[in-house]
Amino acid sequence: MSAEPELIELRELAPARCAAPVRTRLERANALRIAPGTARNNARQLVPGRGHRFQPAGPATHTWCDLCGDFIWGVVRKGLQCAHCKFTCHYRCRALVCLDCCGPRDLGWEPALERDTNVDEPVEWETPDLSQAEIEQKIKEYNSQINSNLFMSLNKDGSYTGFIKVQLKLVRPVSVPSSKKPPSLQDARRGPGRGTAVKRRTSFYLPKDAVKHLHVLSRTRAREVIEALLRKFLVVDDPRKFALFERAERHGQVYLRKLSDDEQPLRLRLLAGPSEKALSFVLKENDSGEVNWDAFSMPELHNFLRILQREEEEHLRQILKKYSYCRQKIQEALHACPLG
């Protein structure tokens, strides 16, 4: 690692919660380029990605498509997932996948105990409220223990700024705009709204040792950290596809806990001290099997209900068809048998 890490500045990030961005569905009529560096092709001329072994995704799979970026709705047909690289997509997107399978990715994970922020946590995970004097003392202790220039500083309004390091351990690929022109500063501030809809995407796997330092405020939330990291890498995937985890080593055991959207990473960093063993941050796919339905808009939820109804009706038709066929065969066998 270089002595001068690349920093992402989040000090000017507004603390108020922004409205949910309006996402534009990827139109399949467009030419989708997944492999970097390829020439423009019509969607019918795409070369399928090699090495994938797609299987139906399990019922607990609630995630976003790695190709088109849309959420994978449904219960019976949850989508497809490669058994090797975990590439996940809709059934309809399978024929458009051009990214070759990279095989199982060894990201150096240790055996870990997963903990969920939606359940009652043990006392050891609770974070106490600190007075202003205690915060000032904590900052002095923190700065005296670090061996770099990534200090924390107290602001006049009582907040404080500092640095957090985030490891990006992503198993699945990420998508970026296939256009070579980077987004402008206004586009970055506006976010992935209707005016910046991405119609063409290029997918690739991030290196397993990717690390980024962020300069953040004490009130910066985990959700804003995720969004800043995605903007830095020009990733156009839905931020809800990812989750920020805190990692801690205790008694020879590695613990991972998913942070809620409103938790403040710098506050956790101050309470834990500068030790990476006591606390570090990891960005992973949000594949915990649970869905924060409050994060979806009303049209998205209504669309999900319509999909559920269609799936239920289709499932009932298949069951009725199966039993009707069995009944017909039994009746044919009865008629073929002589009486007595």
Domain ranges of the chain: 47-104, 130-176+200-295, 297-336
Task: Identify the pLDDT of residue 21.
Answer: 47
**What confidence tens digit (pLDDT) does each residue in 277-300 have?**
899 999 998 875 555 666 667 887
Task: Identify the pLDDT of residue 107.
Answer: 54
Task: Identify the pLDDT of residue 59.
Answer: 65
Task: Look up the CATH number of domain 130-176+200-295.
Answer: 3.10.20.90
Residues of the chain with pLDDT under 70: 1-46, 59-61, 74-77, 105-127, 179-199, 288-296, 339-340
**What confidence tens digit (pLDDT) does each residue in 80-103 have?**
989 888 898 888 888 888 888 887
DSSP characters over 273-330: -S-TTT-EEEEEE--SS---GGGS-HHHHHHHHHHHHHHHHHHHHHHHHHHHHHHHHH
Task: Identify the pLDDT of residue 46.
Answer: 62
Strand partners, 216: 162
Task: Identify the pLDDT of residue 127.
Answer: 66
Tokens of 220: 């910066």
Beta-strand pair 160-168/210-217: antiparallel
CATH topology of domain 47-104: Wheat Germ Agglutinin (Isolectin 2); domain 1 (3.30.60)
Measured distance CA(227)–CA(112) in Å, rounded: 26
Task: Identify the pLDDT of residue 77.
Answer: 66
Among 273, 267, 248, 249, smallest CA distance to 258 is for: 248
Tokens of 222: 């985990």
- Provide the 3-class DSSP secondary structure of residue 259: coil
- Do residues 191 and 236 make contact, with C-beta atoms less than 8 angstroms apart? no
Task: Identify the pLDDT of residue 201.
Answer: 77
Main-chain phi, psi angles of 96, to 5 degrees: -100, 0
Task: Identify the pLDDT of residue 205.
Answer: 84
Task: Identify the pLDDT of residue 280.
Answer: 93
